[in-house]
Amino acid sequence: MTVPALAVENLSVEFRTRSGIVRALENVSFAVDKGETVALVGESGSGKSVTAYAVMGILDAAGRVTAGRAMLGGLDLLAATPQQLADVRGREISMIFQNPRTALNPIRAVGRQIADVLIRHGNVTRAEAPARAVDLLRTVGITDPARRAKAYPFEMSGGMCQRVMIAIALAARPSLLIADEPTTGLDVTTQAVIMDLINELAAEIGMATIFITHDLALAGQRARRIVVMHAGHVVENAPTRELFRHPRHPYTAELIAATPDSAASLDDLASIPGTLPDLRRTDLPPCRYSERCPRKIATCDQPLPAAALGSPHVVACWNPLT
């Protein structure tokens, strides 16, 4: 079995807040193979972004990793020293964010922001960096890159800013890219263009991608495998086609039913009953979906079955759909 690009094992994260401890993530495990595109899907608040931030080591100060490993090649990111992390971030593992315009330094020309990363990671000298930055801008499809390199984020559209972010993230040709809702807030045409760009560049340099989204349909179009999250748990992990044809977790089935696509009429759109449980509770059940689940049985009060490692279709449920 080849070594995956990233293997997250039993990741647990909690946040200290004024109103209590929020158990944001519990026993999250999944792996991303080299060159694979995996989608991390779930409602708002399901813990998708927290997973990414924990892996990257950019959690908020109130957050703490309480257990688990995140193996990037041979390095456990969660146990790495700040120096190791700073070396690896941007070079081996990169991230792009939602709201590209606010994610860029507003008072620094975009060319210089790209050059900063190039100088830091790319074995590029200070003198060469500006030219290389212009090249990168061209690669991500920005027209007239030499002029645009001197522009500031506020002078660019949302789509262009996202391209700049992609350029920054891919400057050092990392082996893994985490894309956190990169197209939310962009218009539909631009969405498609940006996603195409990411896929293209990923294929070119053999980069794996983790694509975080709340939009299951979008995930279905772009990812080879989908990891479904709910309330800080991974509930299902399967190849895309398999997931849509044979969803095994009740939540996944509800998600699919609630996802609008061109064929279904509005009447057929279901909404998922209930709401996310309050993660500050100390009496959370082992399965955090059980309180909203129509298929709940007595066994659901027991701790969930251990994920069968190596199985292509993983589901965390005592009473899965067949």
Partner 1 sequence: MLSMIVRRLIVAVPSLIGVVIVTFLLTRALPGDPAAYFAGPAATKEAIEQIRVRLGLDKSLAQQFVLYVGDLARGDLGVSLTTGQTVVTEIENRLPASAELTLLGLVVSMAIAIPLGILAATRPGSIVDHACRVIATAGVSLPVFFTGLILVYVFYYLLGWAPAPLGRLNVFFSAPPQVTGFYLIDSLIAGDGGVFIASLSQLFLPALTLGIFSLAPIARMTRASMLAVLSSDFVRTARASGLSPMTVIVTYAFRNAMLPVITTLGMVFSFLLGANVLVEKVFAWPGIGSYAVEALIASDFAPVQGFVLTMAVLYVALNLLIDVLYGLIDPRVRLES
Question: Between residue 18 and residue 47, which ones bind partner 1 under the rule CB under 8 A?
Answer: none
Which is closer to partner 1, CB of 91 or CB of 246?
A: 91
Q: How far is the CB of 198 from partner 1 (least distance, A)?
A: 16
Alpha carbon of residue 1 to chain centroid: 24
Which is closer to partner 1, CB of 60 or CB of 301?
A: 60
Beta strands in 100-254 (DSSP E): 176-180, 208-213, 225-230, 233-239
Task: Indicate whether 154 belongs to the interface with partner 1 (CB under 8 A).
Answer: yes
Task: Indicate whether 175 belongs to the interface with partner 1 (CB under 8 A).
Answer: no
Q: How far is the CB of 193 from partner 1 (least distance, A)?
A: 21
Task: Indicate whether 62 belongs to the interface with partner 1 (CB under 8 A).
Answer: no
Place of tokens 């500031």: 152
Helices H / strands E in the chain, number of each: 10, 11
d(CA 316, CA 123): 44
Q: Which residues fall within 8 angstroms of residue 190, CB to CB, at 6 or more apart?
A: 158, 159, 162, 183
d(CA 85, CA 88): 5
Q: How far is the CB of 121 from partner 1 (least distance, A)?
A: 6
Q: Phi, psi at residue 315, to the nearest 5°?
A: -135, 140
Q: How far is the CB of 53 from partner 1 (least distance, A)?
A: 9
Which of 82, 77, 80 has the alpha carbon at shortest distance from 56? 77
Task: Indicate whether 99 belongs to the interface with partner 1 (CB under 8 A).
Answer: yes
User: What is the token pair recorded at 105?
Assistant: 């330094």
Task: Determine the Cα angle at 230 with ends 62 and 73, to 5°.
Answer: 70
Which is closer to partner 1, CB of 27 or CB of 162?
A: 162
Question: Between residue 204 and residue 243, which ones bind partner 1 under the rule CB under 8 A?
Answer: none
Alpha carbon of residue 168 to chain centroid: 17
| Backbone CA torsion sign across 65, 70, 72, 74 | positive
Task: Indicate whether 106 belongs to the interface with partner 1 (CB under 8 A).
Answer: yes
Question: Between residue 77 and residue 96, which ones bind partner 1 under the rule CB under 8 A?
Answer: 82, 85-91, 94-95
Q: Which residues fall within 8 angstroms of residue 227, CB to CB, at 6 or more apart?
A: 30, 38, 39, 40, 41, 234, 236, 237
Count of residues of this chain found to bind partner 1 when the rule CB under 8 A is applied:
33
Task: Indicate whether 293 belongs to the interface with partner 1 (CB under 8 A).
Answer: no
**Among residues 13, 56, 195, 243, which is the contact residue for partner 1, using CB under 8 A?**
56
Q: How far is the CB of 68 from partner 1 (least distance, A)?
A: 20
Q: How far is the CB of 49 from partner 1 (least distance, A)?
A: 11
Q: Which stretch binds partner 1 (CB under 8 A): 38-46, 165-173, 238-246, 262-270?
A: 165-173
Interface with partner 1 (CB under 8 A): 56, 58, 60-61, 82, 85-91, 94-95, 97, 99, 102-108, 116-117, 120-121, 152, 154-155, 165, 168-169
